[in-house]
Structure 1
Amino acid sequence: MKKVLFMIPTLKGGGAEKILIDLLQQFDLNEWSVNLLVLFKNNVYQDQIPSGVTLRQSHISQFRGNIHAMKLTTPQQLYRLLVKTDYDTVISFLEGPTTRIVAGCLNPNTRLINWVHNEFHELSKLGSSYRSIEELQQTYQRFDQTVFVSQTARQALLSLIDLPEEKTKVLYNPLDMKQVLKHVAVDKKIPLTTEQPIKLITIGRLSYQKGYDRLLPIMAKLIHEDGLRVTLDILGVGENLNKLKKQVLNLDLAATVNFLGFVKQPYTHLAQADMFVCSSRYEGYSTVVTEATLLGLPVVTTDCSGMSEILQDTGVITANQEEALYRGLKKVLSDRKLLAELRIKAQQRGQQLSNQDNAIEIINFLREVSS
């Protein structure tokens, strides 16, 4: 039986955390001993960990400055302190402190894998968990394989860190297809009269990365200046909630923008919406955009890593700027026939995506690495 350990900073409700939960459900526990080590205590998804997966928690509290404190200890010391036992394969499933810790494994028989979920164009964006940029580069070179969730994420990091091509792999995120596809609304019609508001939805952590601080002024412009009838549901939690709520009040959007909090299974909300909007400043390979497309939902998004790979020619991808996203949304929202056409294209692309089994590809890759 192959013994694998996944390590992740938290299970606090982000995209990578949800992807990991979906992936863990796909392992054959007659073949694999699957273990999960969560570094910090903040675990929204803990009750969704499949039975049979051994959960280990370090019980380190997440507080301002603890990443800096961890840098006082070497990766080797942290690995011995936290991991303690031997595994065939150890995986850091999200870039950050767990990457540094896993690189501290000194067992030559253990395969080390680093999963990169975001697109990075500056090493400083990755550097907060490391003593120096030099240590960061040495850490990434310690891994037997580095997995990227999109081609663009791979290209970006390889422009910054010299990794052998044979030690890199692109593997798209797995999804619980059955759970998503139960909510497909094949016969849903786009409201064609201007009296009916178009219902937008977006899902993500309420953080700088997701760009909701620039989506809200766009909503105000569409509603108050352009006279468009549109509403927006925002699903997610995060550190910017209070700031965003104040922004909603200041922009006179209280009647049209709704904060729905964290929703474990957002598929019903997605299926009931008319369009998905992504305002992110950066992504890796967006789980929620993939889920929206699987459900046949038209997508308007900023140009982030993985978007062209997910959508191909079925959605609207704008430049990653507030004005460009505004123009893209206005174009679609002003032409309801165009919105209906985009739904048909999204349904067709959703059918293609539903035939992919990314989880099997990932497990086959892990089987090969572990052998």
Structure 2
Amino acid sequence: MMPKKEILFIIENLRGGGAEKVLLDLLRRFDYSLYHVSLLIAYPDGVYKNDIPKEVELISLYKRNHTFCRKAFRYYKRYNGFSFLLKYQLRKRINGSYDIVISFLEGRALLLHSLIKDKGAVNITWVHCDLSTYHWTAAAFPNLSAEKRCYSGMDKIVFVSYQAMANFSKVFDLSVPVT
């Protein structure tokens, strides 16, 4: 019998929203005899927390959305590229390596992914919105160039629509393969 493929999904939280709901639907469709799936979330609260399939290994960066969690993200934003605090927390939680690591949402999920991309043989990130008209992810990064570095470190970028993909290139001039 072949060993199971190891997959890690990353999302900030499960408070609600379309991307979170799509992720949970995707997790319900896996053949868990072939895949070992882990889900990394910054903190385990939210309306969808109880909808995670029992086969999925849940990894929480923090026990709850508390001051330390918010400070870690704020510290990263304030000091461009100084990621020791977040990287330390991630390394404490993420053991081993994965066949695929997927940040399922832009913003902080991408930021966390960029800090552990060496753990994935293949690194994929998803973009669920048009970042040229609603660049909400700017709040997660110290500047546009830091966000661009995170995207450029991925092996592939997946877009939920052609418009999101076309407008992404207006904000980020990257040569990463897109889908």
Q: TM-score range by the shorter chain?
A: 0.7 to 0.9
Aligned-partner SS, 1:159: helix
Q: 5+ unaligned residues in a row in structure 2: which ranges?
A: none
CA contact (8 A) 2:16 2:48 kept: yes
More relative contact order, 1 or 2 (CA 8 Å, 6+ apart): 2
CA contact (8 A) 1:123 1:160 kept: no
Name 2:116's counterpart in structure 1.
Answer: 105
Name 1:146's counterpart in structure 2.
Answer: 157
Q: What does residue range 153-302 of structure 1 map to in structure 2 within 5 Å?
A: 153-164=164-175, 167-169=177-179
For residues 66 and 119 of structure 2, the distance between their equivalents in structure 1, rounded to whole angstroms, comes to 34
Distance 1:130 1:154, change over 3 A: same
> By how many angstroms is 1:139 displaced?
0.8
> By how many angstroms is 1:18 displaced?
0.6
Q: What does residue range 1-371 of structure 1 map to in structure 2 within 5 Å?
A: 1-62=4-65, 65-66=70-71, 67-71=73-77, 73-74=82-83, 76-77=87-88, 79-105=90-116, 107=118, 110-121=121-132, 125-164=136-175, 167-169=177-179
For residues 64 and 129 of structure 2, the distance between their equivalents in structure 1, rounded to whole angstroms, comes to 25
Larger radius of gyration: 1
For residues 111 and 156 of structure 2, the distance between their equivalents in structure 1, rounded to whole angstroms, comes to 15
For residues 170 and 88 of structure 2, the distance between their equivalents in structure 1, rounded to whole angstroms, comes to 30
- 1:3-24 CA-to-partner distances (Å, cap 9, x unmatched) read 0000111111211111011000
> By how many angstroms is 1:40 displaced?
2.0
% same residue: 30
Name 1:249's counterpart in structure 2.
Answer: none
> By how many angstroms is 1:82 displaced?
4.0
Q: TM-score, normalised by structure 1?
A: 0.42
For residues 51 and 41 of structure 1, the distance between their equivalents in structure 2, rounded to whole angstroms, comes to 15
> Residue type matched to 1:87 in 2?
Y
Number of paired residues? 168
> By how many angstroms is 1:112 displaced?
0.8
Q: 5+ unaligned residues in a row in structure 1: which ranges?
A: 170-371
For residues 14 and 135 of structure 2, the distance between their equivalents in structure 1, rounded to whole angstroms, comes to 24
For residues 56 and 123 of structure 2, the distance between their equivalents in structure 1, rounded to whole angstroms, comes to 19
Distance 1:160 1:63, change over 3 A: same
Distance 1:98 1:78, change over 3 A: farther
Aligned-partner SS, 2:118: coil
CA contact (8 A) 1:120 1:153 kept: yes
Distance 1:142 1:79, change over 3 A: farther
CA contact (8 A) 2:125 2:158 kept: yes
CA contact (8 A) 1:4 1:90 kept: yes
Aligned-partner SS, 1:107: helix
Aligned-partner SS, 2:171: coil
For residues 9 and 106 of structure 1, the distance between their equivalents in structure 2, rounded to whole angstroms, comes to 16
For residues 50 and 109 of structure 1, the distance between their equivalents in structure 2, rounded to whole angstroms, comes to 22
For residues 126 and 47 of structure 2, the distance between their equivalents in structure 1, rounded to whole angstroms, comes to 21
> Residue type matched to 2:65 in 1?
Q
